Structure 1
Amino acid sequence: MTPATLAAPFADAFWHDLVTRRQALPDLPERTLLHAGPPLRGAVPTAVRNAAVVAALFEGLAGSSAEALELLKQGHLTLAPAQDHGVVTPLAQVVSASMPLIAVGEGAATRYAPLVEGPPPAARFGTLSTDGAARFRHLARLAADHLAPAVRARPLAVEPVVTEALAQGDDCHSRTGALTRALLDRLPGLPEAIRAELANNASFALTPLMAAAAWRLHDAPITAIGGNGVDFGLRARGASQWRTAPATPPRGTLLPGADEANALGAIGDSAVIDACGLGGQALGLAPTLLEEWADSLPDYAARRRPLFELASGTLDPERILADGRPPIINLAILGRDEASGLIGRGFHQPPLSLFDLPETVS
């Protein structure tokens, strides 16, 4: 597969606006926070709970972390799956009413994703940092003052960004440095200080691509896919319910000193990127990741055909079942405990049974 072939399904995807969640989804209650993956069951993972606290402080719904936790405990803050509302969110990050959202697509097919903070500590890694709310206030100002005017004046085409990044060795999920550089090169009119700030966040381009991938999936056999740390799941075209399985932790590379036993189950809506032929499906163009995970990916080289339709670029359940091996979903690894945050990067392979969909949606 060439970079141009893998990027082709994004030919009509444009980042054309930035709006708050309140503007995008005016009927959604202000105290509803959107999380990754299928509906949560049981205890909320610590990483998601921490992100919810940061969001509540950012929104002014609570004056302290303790108050935010109590609101969550009492049900005065509720959690709902982002993809059920046309939003995708990375890792543990939750989306609140005032957060700026990247918009890709038109009308009912529009899909949204939040801007992300820079390197750790950050809410998407499940870190409860003292300046988390201030970071999101800064992002909101940056979106309103600089990014929104730029993309409204000249919508950004996603396909050439992906093509360039793949050609430079990014998988466009675990490795996004080239993706971010290519995207920023196509955002005109930004003050140099703002451009430099965004360039220091190698993950900045991740969520614009997530929004584009979710847009690409809106009429695919699999329209939603991701994990919440407890379950990993997908929603088939035309279905209202998710198909789920317990989320096992991703395998891969841990940061120095990290404990494998502390790894949280697979989490994040960024799985939509892999469901569109990138990430784990594009590892053949990312030699650095193949080398890093050589001992963990014994079956990758044995795949002789793609698991996605070439025309649409989206995962094909029939091809997956015929191959007999689930797709590779590249995901960061978060810790379960209070203070861990990001502990590594790797990949998740959901159970093959999740892809045994009814014939009506295949």
Structure 2
Amino acid sequence: MITETLDLKITRTAHSRLAETDFNQLQFGHTFTDHMLVADYADGEWKNFQILPYGELSLLPSISALHYGQAFFEGLKAYKQQDGSVSVFRPDKNAARFNKSAQRLSMPEMPEDLFIQSVAALVDVERDWIPTADNHSLYIRPVMFATDPYLGVVASKTYKFVVLTCPVGPYFTKPLRVKFETQYTRAAEGGFGYAKAAGNYAGAMLPTRKAIEEGFDQMIWTDAKEHLYAEEMGAANVMFMIDGKLITPSTRDTILDGVTRDTVLALAHDMGIPVEERRVAISELVEGAKSGKLTDAFGAGTAATIAPIGTINYQGEDYKLSDPATREFSNKLFQTLNDIRYGRVSDTHGWNYKV
């Protein structure tokens, strides 16, 4: 995209909440920093970029996002480096996926450099909010939604872009018990499962709640047509180590092209681990769990990071996997990823965007 320079106005809060925030008791997504970034799209261009004190937005009840679902988001993280500097992890990948979602939902794209500059500008203002503890970070949530006050089923002509930041700790704190979901469907061929559309997550809430009531931590969604193939978890892409190969469902229009997923595949190549991106049958995974060929399984996502799966359930039967503490690949992967993000080793891939 054309290189543009962010024209930004900054209004700082008069009353910071930083001193009263307990960084030892962070619930994911509950604690927000002092400021937010907002911008508007109208007359064919992005304008009015501002960093403001975090607070309410004034919106009409007729805006089309509330009625027709034109809304999507991204998720990325900033880290305090070993040397005290600050970096955002792979924002270029999120910028590209942001525009992929925008295209599918008939919403305006944002020049990738404006997206990155917006994120970096807010992180710079909030750098004191970035936790220093291991496995902690500043979670960044850019969101775009339609704002036309019109009840017609057409794409809006105006939109609002907002970036929020939250200091966070680990998303999951224990190995996951997951089930293959074979009744409900997250996404179908020809749909927009590959976009981070708000509607995808709304449709997942009922089956997720039911799974939790049944004693599961997460679900592995399966294909809409036959429910025979693994697709992704509710909060992450899913990966399996079978016979020494890292295997993950190939991306398609039902599967999110995760940034952490891409990072894991690159690191696996660095480690000399064979990688297969393909359709993954549930029957293959169940057989692997029974025979011991399935030696590792985990979710990979920005919020979840590397989340080990301890037990998988299919058609009411549990299959317990190896103790996550003994797993060579995912533990090495998790450590390597952290070392890069916190600046403890050389960033040979150029993934850390310094703020």
- Give the alignment's TM-score, normalised by structure 1: 0.29
> Rg bigger for which structure?
2
- Give the alignment's TM-score, normalised by structure 2: 0.30
- Name the structure where strand makes up a greater proportion of residues: 2
